[in-house]
Structure 1
Amino acid sequence: MSNFISEMMGTLILVLLGDGVVAGVVLKKTKSENGGWIVITLAWGLAVMTGVYIAASSGAHLNPAVTLSLALNSDLPWADVPIYIAAQLVGAFLGAVLVWLHYMKHFEATEDQAAKLGVFATGPAIRHTGSNLVSEIIGTFVLVFGILALGANTFADGLNPLIVGLLVVVIGLSLGGTTGYAINPARDLGPRIAHAILPIPGKGSSDWGYSWIPIVGPIIGGAIAVFIYQLLF
């Protein structure tokens, strides 16, 4: 239960701050409207850093792709995987609900349906199934490979959350412009479910046709990262 609560709270804060910055940038009449991609990627990295500090007691996976990768790498018992993933999905959903409550009046003031969905879930800049899937695979490969390498280095002890946050920033800046870099199935699926359920005025479709890509892509990318890491090191 302690690991469930740790992962849930860490992921809740991650999504609250991460989706929160997107809401501030894309919704109408906020003080941060049109803040731009740099603002979003920097805040997402800081959101990950904060979530990792909060969930330190459970190992701070905050991401089903990371949890599955660590299990593949024999760093986590497979019996614990469902508990971690359930906690991450619940935390992501609750974090998204809090974003909606915080920005409720700004959702009302925004007519753009794509912007409203973009607060909660990722979407491609150019819709192409193969390319979008490859983008999520590559981005998550870099994330998981970096986490595995970081775990093997003792010089960074105590700074790991900051370094992982900076890793997410650089992934966003360098690779995130194609799909919005979900690189985390829970971060996309939990908020997408919230978008579908919440009474957001004029919200439009939750784009379930695309939703499998930010789930499958990160899982494949993480698994490849484990295979390559074990092969090399």
Structure 2
Amino acid sequence: MKDGPDIARVAALIGDPARANMLTALMGGRALTASELVQEAGVTAQTASSHLARLAEGGLIRQRKQGCHRYHQLASAEVAALLESLMGLAAGAGHLRRRPGPRDPAMRRARVCYDHLAGEMGTTMFESMLARGYLCRMDDAITLTDAGRDFARGFLQVEPGGRSRAPLCRECLDWSERRSHLAGHLGRAMLARLTGLGWARRDPDSRVIRFSPEGERQFRAMFSG
């Protein structure tokens, strides 16, 4: 028997199509009921219950009970990062699933990825922050520069990072753009600020982020190339 982490077990949990659909749905960052995940998985309620139990046992999701309802969400930001990396890898290798419909262009333009901005708008923000010297790459990691800390402090109206133990900056490969967007505590705070200012809002029933005309104008002015 080999020693060390059992990556085969984690891969098997993610590799089942129904479970993969459930996990992808939870990438929106919201806790969902079993009934909602049944629709995402395309299986019966009994089968979905079995899948959810296996995902919880494997440490990929956690369950929360509120009143008569039981909700399911990703176990941690690390799980979300793993899924996003797999999405980028699959997209880069040409393994794409296409769902016809009006949401596709909107999803590619701007969407929430667990807790941060992804899609074309997300990569635009990330690349602008790099070009302006707010972020820099050091030893295969993304760090916030002094200039970036000043910018973030002014835009967010709080000290970036605060007391959070989560990584301040993290680079995610965007599956639709095949370029990077910003994750980590700063990525989460930036999305919260964009919606808090009213520049953008999230569709109630999807991961799509929609910018108002004025919000997009302000966004482009701040994060132009």
With normalisation by structure 2, the TM-score equals 0.27
Query: Which one has the bigger strand percentage?
Result: 2
Q: Which has the larger radius of gyration?
A: 2
With normalisation by structure 1, the TM-score equals 0.27
Q: Which has the higher contact order (CA 8 A, sep 6+)?
A: 1
Query: Which one has the bigger helix percentage?
Result: 1
